[in-house]
């Protein structure tokens, strides 16, 4: 895939609570010039970014805790609704793992339902911290998130490990499986440690090997903060 093709899938990311207005302005200038799929920021930066981005570039907000996700459904709902009111068109939200044999179970389902209800009308990307999970938990969490209505399952925050080849394959398979059984077509967001075009090509090849229909920004995203520099060289 060439650089333009990757840009079309890129969630250009700046997750820094201490980002200055100048930092955010520079992010928006680059986004307006290079046209990523979305710009991903913390909720407190939504209004500033939305006012400076071209109208056709969505703002994706990380809401309800990052990298550690909020576990109270009411708090999750409140945080997401605030992000939507501030102008977010997409929501990235962590489903926090529990160290328990029954993970994921009813507590996680309640959080996922809160995520989906609060983000109604927006794209919802559920962040599954795959570096912290074994294969069973990874698959079960992806299935639960998709069953609850997630538009994307996302590999990780990147703060507690990166996106492994295994995670990319498992998420793509579970999305494919969900499509066959439920008839809907959710997507995969790959994030965490993706900094080169070689990383992208390797991971996309793995996704494609599981389901070649997972393509285009409606079903495939790449989350990265430093990848743009390589793409525009």
User: CATH number for the domain including 46?
Assistant: 3.20.20.70
Domain count, the chain: 1
Task: Choose the catalytic residue: 11, 125, 151, 154.
Answer: 154
Residue 98's SS3 state is coil
| Residue 96, pLDDT score | 97
Between CA 127 and CA 149 the distance in angstroms is: 13
Q: Is 125 annotated in the active site?
A: no
Exposure letters 204-229 (e unless 16+ CB within 10 A, then b) = bebbeebbeebbebebbbbbbbebbe
pLDDT at 55: 97
- Residue 57's pLDDT is what? 98
Q: How many CB atoms lie within 10 A of CB 143?
A: 16
Under the banding of pLDDT at 50, 70 and 90, the label for residue 150 is very high
> Is 92 considered catalytic here?
yes
Range of the domain at 141: 3-231
Distance CA 229, CA 222 (A): 14
pLDDT of 75 above 90? yes
- Answer yes or no: are the C-beta atoms of 80 and 94 closer than 8 Å: no
Q: Which of 92, 151, 199, 211 is catalytic?
A: 92
* Active-site position among 11, 125, 151, 189: 189
**Whether residue 121 has pLDDT greater than 90:** yes
């Amino acid at each position: 895939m060439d650089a333009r093709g990757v840009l079309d899938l890129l969630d250009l990311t700046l997750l820094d609570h201490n980002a200055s207005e100048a930092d955010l302005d520079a992010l928006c200038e680059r986004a307006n010039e290079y046209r990523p799929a979305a710009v991903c920021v913390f909720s407190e930066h939504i209004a500033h970014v939305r006012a400076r981005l071209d109208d056709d570039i969505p703002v994706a907000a990380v809401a309800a805790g990052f990298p550690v996700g909020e576990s109270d459904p009411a708090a999750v709902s409140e945080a997401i609704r605030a992000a939507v009111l501030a102008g977010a068109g997409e929501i990235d939200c962590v489903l926090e793992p529990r160290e328990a044999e029954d993970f994921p179970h009813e507590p996680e389902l309640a959080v996922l339902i809160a995520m989906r209800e609060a983000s109604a009308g927006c794209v919802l990307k559920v962040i599954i911290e795959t570096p912290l999970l074994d294969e069973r938990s990874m698959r079960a969490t992806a299935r639960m998130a998709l069953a609850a209505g997630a538009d994307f399952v996302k590999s990780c925050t990147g703060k507690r490990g990166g996106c492994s080849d295994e995670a990319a394959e498992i998420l793509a398979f579970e999305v494919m499986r969900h499509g066959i059984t439920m008839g809907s077509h959710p997507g995969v967001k790959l994030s965490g440690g993706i900094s080169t075009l070689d990383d992208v090509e390797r991971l996309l090849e793995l996704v494609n090997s599981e389901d070649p229909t997972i393509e285009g920004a409606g079903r495939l995203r790449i989350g990265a903060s430093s990848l743009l520099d390589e793409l525009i060289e």
